[in-house]
Amino acid sequence: MIGRLSGLFVDAEGDDAVIDVGGVGYLVRCGTRTLTRLPPLGEPVVLHIESQTREDGTRLFGFLSKSDRAAFVSLQAIQGVGPKAALAVLDILPPAELAAAVVRDDKAAVARASGVGPKLAQRIVTELKGKPLAAGLSIGPDAAGPSPSASPVVRASGEAVAALLGLGIAESAARRAVETAEQRLGPDPALSALIKAALQEVGR
C-alpha cells in the first residue's frame, strides 16, 4: 500500500494529478480544493495517499495534509459515503470547518457538497459526532450539545479535542495537538481557530 508520494507534479488530467516519482508517473485522484493548491507543473510536491484496491484495480487518492486524508477515511466509514462524496465534502469543508460543523450539528453546511443530500448530510453529522469524545463532553447521535451532567460551560479545548476525535484522530494525539495550539494562540481562542490550529499540529 502507498501512504505517501514525494515527486514532481507533471500533469493534471481532469480530477487526477500525475506525480513523477523516479521516472514513474502515478495517477492520483484529488479533490478540487487539493488540485487548486498544487504547485506549478514541474515543481516538487508531497501528497499523503489513501490507497483503495477493488476489482477494477487500485486507485490512489491524494491530499496535501494528513488531516485531509484522515477526514477522507472517516467520511467513507459512513454508510452511503463513497470516495466521490467524501472528496465533495472536503472540497467545501476543510477538516477544521468540517469538525466545527459537526460540533454545531450544522447539517446544512455539509449538504452544500455536490451529491450530498439532506439525509446523507444528517447521517454524516450524526455519525461523526458519535465517535468517542473527550471527558466532560458527551455528544451522542441524538444530542447536539453537552450532556445535562456536564458543566454548563464547556471549554473550547474540550470541544476541539472532541472534534478531532470525530475525525478519527487518536485521543492522545488530539489532546497534544490542542494543547500545543492553545499555547500558540493564547488564552480563550475561538473554537474554529483552535480546531484549525490543532489540525495543523496533527499534520506536521
**CATH code for position 161:** 1.10.150.20
The per-residue pLDDT for 130 is: 61
* Whether 102 and 72 share a structural domain: yes
Is 37 in the same domain as 121?
Answer: no
Q: Is the pLDDT of residue 50 over 90?
A: yes
Computed over every residue of the chain, the mean pLDDT equals 81
pLDDT at 145: 39
Residue-level pLDDT at 25: 94
The reply to whether 126 and 33 lie within a common domain is no
Is 26 buried (19+), middle (13-18) or exposed (0-12) by CB count in 10 A?
Answer: middle
- Asked if residue 146 and residue 75 are part of one domain, the reply reads yes
pLDDT score of 47 more than 50 = yes
Statement to judge: residues 44 and 114 lie in one domain: no
Q: What is the pLDDT of residue 150?
A: 35
Summarize pLDDT for 144-198 with one digit per residue, the tens. Answer: 333 333 333 345 777 777 777 767 777 778 788 888 888 888 877 787 888 888 8
Position 54 pLDDT exceeds 60? yes
Last residue of a domain, one of 64, 79, 111: 64
pLDDT of residue 198: 84
Convert the pLDDT of each residue in 95-121 to its tens digit: 888 888 888 888 999 999 999 999 999
Same domain, 77 and 156: yes
Place of cell 441524538: 142
More reliable by pLDDT, 136 or 130? 130
Q: Could you tell me the three cell numbers for 166?
A: 470525530
* CATH number of the domain residue 27 falls in: 2.40.50.140
CB count in 10 Å sphere of residue 80:
12
pLDDT digit string, tens, across residues 22-40? 999 999 999 999 999 999 9
Pairing of strands 16-21, 24-29: antiparallel
Torsion (CA) 152, 131, 202, 193 in degrees, nearest 10:
-40
Report how many domains make up the chain: 2
Residue 100's domain comprises 68-202
Q: Do both 60 and 72 map to the same domain? A: no
Last residue of a domain, one of 14, 45, 64: 64
Q: Coil, strand, or helix at residue 107?
A: helix
Count of all residues that appear for the chain in the document: 204
Whether residue 32 is found in the same domain as residue 101: no
What pLDDT sits at residue 91?
92
The pLDDT of residue 131 is 56
Whether residue 137 has pLDDT greater than 60: no
- Do 49 and 81 belong to one domain? no
> Do residue 119 and residue 177 come from a single domain?
yes
